[in-house]
Chain A
């Protein structure tokens, strides 16, 4: 899953592939702003066929948070 997620992060945030680690913070390390976070959320919803309610968005701080969140769905 990390491979697909990395591809998604690179595509949506314009970050480098080697920057995407489990510990990487979406905003501080991968350079997302609040709108890019929403673009990422929409891409996740489309890719994994899930719905991410607004309250959950703030919980997704690191790549690992996203991995765990998708696994929990």
Chain B
């Protein structure tokens, strides 16, 4: 028995902000951004993460053609929740009107969140506790950005993607690999707690806006994507050529190009849509997957690899048969 993706959906806010738009508000230019990242534009949300996730979830449920009340597990991967409490997953459960016998929680593994959440959902489902799960990657990252920091403000976008999981005899997720390494140097951080406690002067070590050491993260990412894919290939006893696509976290074109080069495969093996949406963190893999499905790029029986990497530091990959 395998756990398979039965439906996929995504939602991207309407407001498109191009590199040319950013030129007007900060010292940057289209060519510089495009060459270093591959990003041409991104979407910016005027609603919060749960609303983005809810809209993606609705589409995934419709695509899966399941009764909404059969869903008994909701995991939302996000590092940009509406609030620390309640969780985005609970807010989405309410918006969807799903009955009470459903377990809903958020999982924060930053840009690896979707793969981590799939791993948790599949493991819980294989234990027999849950039958139908909704795994959502939803982010409103633009609310966390320092719009005066041109090294980070250009990189991110908002959006959400979702999948519905249930049992399947033939297709499904085959192998997982996840890992983490505590970010002792603070190369990718976002602080949030405002401490008004008169008895404690505890301060967050991280800035209240998203902060990133681009070079360090680029090196980490390029190394870890290859390692993660290689781990899955070893478990599968297969070559990368046997997989139709690698659906990687859409952080930066240069990371995926460097990985393709180092693994001696064509860049086309790595699906890319970051030019349109920028880095949407936990949402990027399901957004890309939904686009691929809608454009008929994936057929039943195709072998795929998902790979995520990001803040934590965290990383993870999985293989699946569509």
Listed in ascending order, the chain A residues whose CB lies under 8 Å from chain B are 33-35, 37-39, 41-42, 54, 57
Of A37, A38, A42, most B-chain CB atoms within 10 Å: A38
Q: Which of B6-14, B138-146, B216-224 contacts A (4 or more CB under 8 A)?
A: B216-224
Within 88-128 of B, Cβ neighbours of A (below 8 Å) are at: none
Say whether B222 contacts A39, CB under 8 Å: yes
Interface of B is mostly: helix
Question: How many angstroms from the CA of A39 to the CA of B223 in the assembled complex?
Answer: 10
Say whether A54 contacts B215, CB under 8 Å: yes
Listed in ascending order, the chain B residues whose CB lies under 8 Å from chain A are 35-36, 214-216, 218-219, 222-223, 252, 254, 258
Say whether A38 contacts B36, CB under 8 Å: no
5 of the cross-chain contacts (CB-CB < 8 Å) are: A34-B215, A37-B215, A38-B222, A39-B258, A42-B219
Q: Which residue of B lies closest to A46 (CB)?
A: B262
Interface of A is mostly: helix
Say whether B215 contacts A35, CB under 8 Å: yes
Question: How many angstroms from the CA of A38 to the CA of B252 in the assembled complex?
Answer: 14
Say whether B254 contacts A35, CB under 8 Å: yes
Say whether B214 contacts A41, CB under 8 Å: no
Question: How many angstroms from the CA of A38 to the CA of B214 in the assembled complex?
Answer: 10
Question: How many angstroms from the CA of A35 to the CA of B257 in the assembled complex?
Answer: 12
